[in-house]
Amino acid sequence: MVISNAYRLNLDSVTGKTAIITGANSGIGLEAAKVLAQKGARVVMAVRNEEKGKAARNEILKDHKNAEIQVMKLDLADLESVRAFANDFSSQYASLDLLLNNAGVMTPPYSKTKDGFELQFGSNHLGHFALTGLLLPLLKATPNSRVVTVSSIAHRGAAILFDNLDASKGYRAMKFYGQSKLANLLFAKELDKRLKEHGIQTISLACHPGVSATNLFKFGRSETPRLLKGVMNHFLQPAEMGALPTLYAATEPSLTGGEYIGPNSPGRFRGYPALETPHFVANDEATMKKLWELSEKLTGVEFDFTR
């Protein structure tokens, strides 16, 4: 898969490696799963809907019959499910090379996770925070492992509403989506900082897909409306292009951790992967630390950075 005339994705590096992709049954997650499975990675599709996950697995196997793909249940809006997934995975696998924190929900009507958190913050951020912490022992035990967390251009100008995380003082869907995507980026950066401070080889990176035609735009429906899909497919880049920053972050050997990858066009809405500078709101170290400590408290998951 060509990135530019100068270089290609380093996909041969994933052969024989184990990767978890959350939300791998559709959109960017599915496209990343296709590529990694095709290149010989063992792919675990961590999905809320196992039926859709199995259908996606079968779709991949039609073209790549020898692909190693497993579907496992994971509901990021339920911390009990997150713990069950981590325990199940850890009982089956002795290593974890790539954790792709990809799944997300965008602008639903106000609702809560099973644990009582606002849905977007609870699933997009807290669910992935807990999952990463629970899988950290395997990541630490795997040389050159990576965590890639998918953020969004919606983080630009967003804020962590520490005095209204539960939306009890008011809810605006897009504002809370931006908050969750800023939290993803702050988490990825703080995680990499702490890994380096403890001399752990695992690196953490963030990326975003630009604006891609995926089911994130279903606006609380079970699927994206057909008319909207047609408009999206005309103006937005396809999901396979949107997956490139994720794949680049997962495989590019020159990355050392802490980087943010996005499309290279003006505005960063579409194009091929390139290093990007996050909005300044994502560089506040005090906010990173406060969010980390609060996330540990809310999820009950503390990261063990001992070697």
**Three state DSSP letters for 213-230:** CCHHHHCCCCCCCHHHHH
pTM for the full predicted model: 0.91
Higher pLDDT, 211 or 127: 127
pLDDT tops 80 at residue 133? yes
Structure tokens at 183: 């939290």
Structure tokens at 256: 């050392």
pLDDT tops 70 at residue 101? yes
Helix 173-197 with 128-140: angle, nearest 10 deg:
20
Residue-level pLDDT at 160: 98
pLDDT tops 70 at residue 214? no
| H-run or E-run covering 43 | strand 42-47
Domains assigned to the chain: 11-299 (3.40.50.720)
Structure tokens at 134: 């629970």
State the Cα–Cα distance between residues 307 and 287, nearest whole angstrom. Answer: 26
**Distances in whole angstroms, Cα of residue 130 to Cα of each of 65, 256, 297:** 33, 23, 11
pLDDT tops 50 at residue 4? no
Higher pLDDT, 236 or 177: 177
pLDDT tops 60 at residue 31? yes
Higher pLDDT, 140 or 222: 140
21 three-class SS: strand
Confidence of residue 212 (pLDDT cuts 50, 70, 90): low
110 counts as catalytic: no
Share of the chain above pLDDT 90, in %: 81
Q: In this predicted model, what pLDDT tens digit does every residue of 218-253 receive, in sequence order?
A: 444 444 455 545 444 445 788 889 999 999 999 999
Given the residues 7, 110, 171, 260, select the one marked as catalytic: 171
Overall average pLDDT of the 273-278 stretch: 92
Residue-level pLDDT at 268: 63
Overall average pLDDT of the 134-147 stretch: 98
Q: How many CB atoms lie within 10 A of CB 280?
A: 9
Exposed e or buried b per residue across 177-211, where buried means at least 16 C-beta atoms within 10 angstroms of its C-beta: bbbbbbbbbbbbbbbbbbbbeeebebbbbbbbbbb
Average pLDDT along the chain: 91
